[in-house]
Chain A
Amino acid sequence: MDKSDTPLIGVSQAIVKTKELIKHVAATGLNIVITGESGVGKEVVAQNLYYASPRKGKPFIKVNCAALPDGLLESELFGYERGAFTGAEKKKRGKFELADKGVLFLDEIGDMSILLQAKLLHVLQSGEFAPLGSEDDHKTDTWVLAATNQNLAQSIKNGTFRKDLYYRLNTVNIHLPPLRERREDIPFLIEYYLDFYKVQFKNKSFPKPDRNILEKLAAYHWPGNIRELQNVLQRLMVVGDFEAISREFNEQDKPVPDSAQRISNETEIAPPLPSSNPIEESVEPDFSNFSLKKIKKKAADKAEKKAIALVLSKTHWNRSKASKILQISYKTLLYKISELEIEPVGGL
């Protein structure tokens, strides 16, 4: 859901408290960590903080710290000077520079490497950062909001998260419990998103679900939380039949073993989306290999491949144009095309 001013929906204690917290801390500029399982709406909280703050109207920049390998994430955050390394053909502004006076939302902060954590800590302490290859420190006035589905206190014990960074970021913590612990919110979420999708899918006459179905949906354990609920409702819009969907819920509603549930939380178990976005694609997650590094690399490759393929198709395979849009060198692009086995679709 990329509607930028999504409100926090619900009547549960957790939502009421979260709204209250936002009201009290949005203007303070204090660092905040938003915690909760995947799909609970951490980014929505970050956006609400931003909208309630004096920084509203300034940039809101999001970086997913799990999506990029370490070196790339570093250059994303801090940018680099021309010639900082092979392939750095022109200067790149980092997110800290782009988010100046605004908000930098660091999603999946728990996945950031210890080395980068040290650099982030330095920026938070000094308000300064140096782009790669630059000798000068740049000032930044960025409000850093972070989110994670990990237990950072545990990560500290495991040695994967810095305690000093934790205390600095976690000045304020906003925790969103999973949907199954605030079932009273489910009918409100359903109403809100159905109304939203009715407009999006141009299906205004879509009927309201009856009580029976609402009860069924409210009783489901929603391992993928609100994101899963959104997917179900989108599917409902397309299928148009509550009965068919609710029959699936009878099948699904068996208790899920804990470990399987955790896996499905980490990945988007989203059922195929009727999406107009060509980048969207539904592939069953492959858990035959649990090496995090490999999973990360695979995901990064996949994302890269999609992005490059999209840009290539938009530029009608004009590689030089594509490399400019992608901000990589021509040579790198050629290498990527062959490494990732990107081929023209429809024989362009």
Chain B
Amino acid sequence: MGDQKKLLIIDDDAEILAALDNYLRKKNYNVSIAANGLDGLKLLESEPGRFDLIITDLVMPSISGVAIIAIAKKKFPDIPVIAITGWGEHPEALATEAEADLVMEKPFELSVLESKITEILSGKK
């Protein structure tokens, strides 16, 4: 399982977090989850180089997804980031400005997300 890709998923919506976690584990990813921005940031900073890709919700209390992307891109510019955003929220422009590699608007098919993950990860290496 040496080539198992490591994902960090950050979302304050427990249901979405669980759904992504379940689905991507089944797809043979090594998944770490964080229920808020601060925990996500701590995971990210605890072991540099630990993650191959970050998926983050954009609108979260305290440390928003936009902040996560900005910090991640500054400290770990090689880790690609997918931003997911709820319908009717409009911080996408900011996410793009913070250099998210992809912004996906909810709702989306999990299979679409997975194919995007594969695409981004294969483009990277």
Contacts and interface: CB of A to CB of B under 8 A. Distances in A.
B56 interface: no
Nearest to B45: A24
Interface in A3-44: 17, 20-21, 24-25, 28, 30
Interface in B63-84: 63-64, 66-67, 70-71, 74
Contact of B70 (A163, A167, A171): A171
B63 to A, nearest CB: 6
B66 A167 contact: yes
A164 B90 CA distance: 8
B111 to A, nearest CB: 30
B38 A20 contact: yes
A28 B94 contact: no
B91 interface: yes
Given A28-B70, A164-B90, A170 B38 contact: no
Contact of A173 (B41, B62, B90): B62
Nearest to B62: A173
A172 B90 contact: no
A25 B94 contact: no
B63 A172 contact: yes
B94 A168 contact: yes
B98 to A, nearest CB: 9
Given A28-B70, A30-B67, A21 B90 contact: no
B92 to A, nearest CB: 10
A84 to B, nearest CB: 32
A206 to B, nearest CB: 39
A172 B94 contact: no
B61 interface: yes
Nearest to A167: B91
Interface residues of A, number: 17
A256 to B, nearest CB: 28
Contacts of A174: 62
A27 to B, nearest CB: 9
A25 B40 CA distance: 13
Contact of B90 (A17, A20, A30, A167): A167
Contacts of B61: 173, 175
Interface in B20-79: 38, 41-42, 45, 61-64, 66-67, 70-71, 74
A28 B66 CA distance: 12
Contacts of B66: 167, 171
A175 B64 CA distance: 13
B117 to A, nearest CB: 25
Contacts of B67: 25, 28, 30, 171-172
A39 B64 CA distance: 25
Contacts of A20: 38
Nearest to A168: B94
B90 A163 contact: yes
Interface string A172-185: 11110000000000
Interface in B82-123: 90-91, 94
Contacts of B70: 28, 30, 171
24 contacts: A20-B38, A21-B62, A24-B42, A24-B63, A25-B67, A28-B70, A28-B71, A28-B74, A30-B67, A164-B90, A167-B66, A168-B94, A170-B64, A171-B64, A171-B66, A171-B67, A171-B70, A171-B94, A172-B63, A172-B67, A173-B61, A173-B62, A173-B64, A174-B62
Interface of A: 17, 20-21, 24-25, 28, 30, 163-164, 167-168, 170-175
Given A168-B94, A172-B62, 11 more contacts: A24-B41, A28-B70, A28-B71, A30-B71, A171-B64, A171-B66, A171-B70, A172-B63, A172-B67, A173-B64, A175-B62
